[in-house]
Every structure is written in structure tokens, then in C-alpha cells.
Structure 1
Amino acid sequence: MAIQSTSSLKRIFFQRHIAVPIEHGSWVFLLGPILVGLVVSEGLTSNQGWVILAALAGFFFRQPLTILVKVMSGRRPSKERLPALFWMGVYGLIGLIAILGMLSRGLGFLVVLALPALPVLFWHLWLVSRREERRKPIVEIAGSGVLGLAAPAVYWAGIGHLNLNGWLLWLLLWLQAIGSILYAYLRLSQREWQSVPPLQTRLSAARLPLAVCGGSIAGVGLLALSGWFSPLVTAAYLIQFAEAVWGALKPAIGVKPVLIGMRQLMISSLFMISFALLWRAAG
């Protein structure tokens, strides 16, 4: 009887779609900046460990909270309310412990970086309650900007103080994230094409991601030439731009969304690794 009771509790509380974020693409927009912050600051310290724990707790907290909103709006069965509250409690407790750890290390100045997440979170939850959260690139772009704050937070925790480089890291990573999101939406829209259109039509459909990815190279290059950081960093932006050009010429007609997502995940991961190594090599 006890074994059956334990098994029943596991089935109730340990449901993956409630406990773990299901948007695979969003992972790279958090883990990538964390990696960059670690590499640029040249190592992992206990201070950075508290910051990373807080960031992960906040990232995971959104998933059960979203499920709870879906339950309250009638989109999910009421039986998921209790496990959602359970995981909110778990992640909330972990986040509180992480924040206390940050405060004990004199990192309270980094806690304020969580504030921009609140309006974006409320916006997302409002859309969820109205069944309108899907295919909203502007929300995803705002969310990637919030997640990207993990880069300066981890970097500043590593060096022990604020500086301009942290904000540069955030801005540079967000530029790539914007291009990545717009490109992913281009690929998803191409799925519905019945045949390969003329070149002019393909380029017209891709003009926004091409402009953003190409403009990122130009903008980052100008900043580098102005002495803000090494020109080597600009090379990392060629990865997403080359992918956008390839995707514009080779439409994803009939390609499954999961394959589109996995390819873009690999491209974004390659960018993050290249960016971190190039910045570190130039430093």
C-alpha cells in the first residue's frame, strides 16, 4: 500500500510539463549568457554560483506559474493546480535561498536585474490567460532580453563590481537573440509554402531577419572599430547571418518545427561559444 501511495504521489507531482520549461529554444537564451559571463570573467566562483542558482530558479518558476494560469483560465484540468503550486514553492524557495546567498556576499546590487522580468512575465501570463501567447515574436524578443541579463550578472559577480563591459555583453547578446528569433519565425512561415518561389520573393520574405543579422555585423563592427572591444568579436555574428542567407535561399518547405528549432538551437549555441572565446582571446 505504501509503495502504491508513493507511486501515486510521484505521478501527481513529478509531471515534466509542469516542472520543466518546455520551450527548448528559450534555454539557449539563458544558458548561453551564463556561459558567456563565466568565460569572460575567467572562471566559476561561489559568488557566481549564487547568481546562476537565482537565474535558474526564476527561469524554472515561470513554467508552473504558467500552468497555474492555464488552470485558472480553464485551459488545463484542475488536478494540475496542486503540482503547479508545489513546484512554484520549490523554485520559489530555491530562489529565496539564492538571493539570501547573494546578499550575504554583497551582491545585492545584482538583485535589481530581476525587475525587468516582472512586466515581461505579467505580459506573458496575460496572453496565456487569453490563449494568445503563441506566435508573439515581440514577447519572445523581450523575454530574451530579460534572460540575457544573466550575462552581466554572472560577469559582475565574478569580477566583484559593475562596469560598462557587462552592459556591452548584454546588448551584444541580445542583438543576436533578436536576429535568431526573427529568423526562426521566417523558417516557420516557409513551412506553409507550397513550392519554392522566385528568388525575389524569397529574399523579400527574409528581409527583416537579413536586415537584423546583417545590421548586427555592421553595428558591432562599428563599435569594435571605435575601441569598445576587439574587432575579433564581430566574427561571431557571421554565423547567424550566414544561416539567415542560407535559410532565405533554401526555404523550409514541409520541415517539421522541431527540426527548425533544433537547428536554430545549434546555431545559437555555436554563436554563444564563439562569442565567449573570441572575447576572451581578445582580452
Structure 2
Amino acid sequence: MAKGARVLLPAEHGSWSLMLTPFLIGAGVAWVAGHETSGLALTLALVAVLALFLARQPLATWLRARTRAPEAAAEAFRWGLAMLVVAALTGLGLLALGRGVVLWLALPAAMLLAVTLAMSSWLGPRRLATELAGVAGLALAAPAAYVAGTGALDATAAGVWAISALYSGLSVVYVRLRLHQRNERVSRGEGIWVVVAHLLGGAAVLAGIRAGWLPALLALPFGLMAARAAVAAWRNPPLESVRRFGFTEMALALCFAALAIFAYAREY
């Protein structure tokens, strides 16, 4: 089992937060939305999300190693396939519970998983484009939880995906900036680019609020994120402990999830 864990578990601990935070947002919004929430359906959705999450690393290993290390690649493929089977079985369970509408999310999930695996194989797993594609896929945990809990595939499902993907994507570019600053591998241009990305993200949230698609309170966290990015880009504050920094980011993600749920609760 220890060997299987090495194949399955991602090396980046932060990726767990990128998957679980969207799920918490979706589940929380389902709870406050006024629908009859199914705890069993939410549990099955969580198992499916975890299975797809754990399938990514072995399938990526299989793609990279299938020619130079065929035995290791074969083992990785078996583990990845097992996780896909688990996800499929939980999908059947959701169908039996009358939550078959959540299976519509399987199409974008499969597409984003394929794109992430292809980019990981061609560009490398740590390239920004690869990470952002992965973030978009992991953010589907939010609508998966919401739809499984409520049975409704509606504008709120799209909204929780959008804010989850945007928050996680901006967090990724911010973390990369801070790590580059710590290693003295950052240019002024990168700092400016990160700030611009945050401003564009904030503008997108404001547009969603103005159109009535997103709760107004969501302007607060994205505004604070933009301010934080500007301070980091301009002042380059010291980053003494990467471990502490990582735990801080996880705590902030949980705070964002709580605020997002509260923002939606005020709308219902």
C-alpha cells in the first residue's frame, strides 16, 4: 500500500487545498441555497472528486514513463484506471439517487483532465499553463458538490466554479511570484504581470456582480488579493519559511470558502 500511495498521492501538498476548497464552497452553497440537500449524494460526489484527483498523478506518470520505464508506467496506469473506475461507480450511485444531472460535469472534467495530462507530458507538470489547466479542472469540485447536494444544474453552479477557478488561479500565480522572489529569480515584469492578472480577475468579478451573476460581497476577497499582490510585487517582503507560507495560504483558502458561502447565504 505504501508503494501505491507513492504512485497516487501528489507531491504538492497545496494541490489538496486546490481540490477541497472548491468542494467546500459548493457543498456550503448547496446547504444555504434552500434546496433539499442530500448528504449521501454529497458523500458520493466527494468520493468521485477524490478519485479523479488521485487519478491525475498516476496517469501523468504513465504518459511520461511509458517508453523509458514500461514496468513503472504499467503500474501507474493500473492505479490511475482503478481511480477512474471508482469515479464511474460513484457516478452510478449518484444516478441511482436521482442526481444524474451531476454527470453532465463529467464532460468538462474529462476534457480538462485530458488537457492537463497532455500539457504535463509536453510542457512539464510545473509550467504555469499546466498548473492553471489543472486548477480549472479541480475547481469543478465546486459545481459537483453543489449539483450533487441540490440536484440543480443552474447559474449558481457556474458561479461557484468561476469563483473557485479564479481564486485558485490567482493564488497559483501569487505563490509562484513569492517563491521566485525568495529564490531571487523574479523580474519587475513578472511582478507587474501578477498584479495585472489580479486586477483583471477583480474586474471579472465586478462584471459578474453587476450582471447579477455573483454576490456583491465577493468583491471584498478579490480586492484584498489584488492589494496583496501589489504589495508583494512592489515591496518584495521577506519569505522566511516556505512551510509557514504554505499553511497560511491554506488557511486563507478556507477563509475564502467561508466568505463565499456567507456571500451566497445573504442572497437567499
Aligned counterpart, 1:186: 177
Amino acid at match of 2:57: Q
**CA distances 1:102-131 after superposition (whole Å, capped 9, x unpaired):** 12123333223122233443344344445x
How far apart, in 1, do the equivalents of 2:154 and 2:191 lie?
Answer: 37
Amino acid at match of 1:67: T
Amino acid at match of 2:80: M
Query: Which residue of 79, 88, 94 corresponds with 1:102?
Result: 94
1:209 aligns with 2:194: yes
Three-state SS of the structure 1 residue aligned to 2:98 is coil
How far apart, in 2, do the equivalents of 1:78 and 1:258 lie?
Answer: 35
Q: Does the 8 Å CA contact 2:22/2:141 hold for their aligned counterparts? A: yes
**CA distances 1:63-88 after superposition (whole Å, capped 9, x unpaired):** 222232333142xx555346424533
CA apart distance, 1:34: 0.6
Aligned counterpart, 1:35: 24
Aligned counterpart, 1:69: 63
Alignment CA distance shift 1:266-1:208 (3 Å): farther
Q: Does the 8 Å CA contact 1:124/1:133 hold for their aligned counterparts? A: no
| 1:134-153 aligned within 5 A | 134-153=125-144
Q: Does the 8 Å CA contact 2:4/2:79 hold for their aligned counterparts? A: no
How far apart, in 2, do the equivalents of 1:221 and 1:116 lie?
Answer: 25
Alignment CA distance shift 1:70-1:222 (3 Å): closer
Q: Does the 8 Å CA contact 1:176/1:213 hold for their aligned counterparts? A: no
How far apart, in 2, do the equivalents of 1:254 and 1:168 lie?
Answer: 33
Q: Does the 8 Å CA contact 2:41/2:94 hold for their aligned counterparts? A: yes
Aligned counterpart, 1:224: 209
**CA distances 1:213-236 after superposition (whole Å, capped 9, x unpaired):** 233333323432443343222212
Aligned counterpart, 2:7: 18
1:173 aligns with 2:158: no
How far apart, in 2, do the equivalents of 1:186 and 1:221 lie?
Answer: 25
1:274 aligns with 2:268: no
CA apart distance, 1:254: 7.6
Which stretch of structure 1 is more off in the superposition, 21-30 or 262-271? 262-271
Q: Which runs of 5+ in 2 are unaligned?
A: 32-36
Amino acid at match of 1:51: A
Alignment CA distance shift 1:151-1:134 (3 Å): closer
How far apart, in 2, do the equivalents of 1:95 and 1:234 lie?
Answer: 35
Q: Does the 8 Å CA contact 1:29/1:148 hold for their aligned counterparts? A: yes
Three-state SS of the structure 1 residue aligned to 2:184 is coil
Q: Which runs of 5+ in 1 are unaligned?
A: 1-9
Q: Does the 8 Å CA contact 2:94/2:148 hold for their aligned counterparts? A: no
TM-score after normalising by structure 1: 0.79
| Identity among equivalent pairs (%) | 26
How far apart, in 1, do the equivalents of 2:65 and 2:207 lie?
Answer: 49
- Alignment size in residue pairs: 263
How far apart, in 1, do the equivalents of 2:99 and 2:222 lie?
Answer: 32
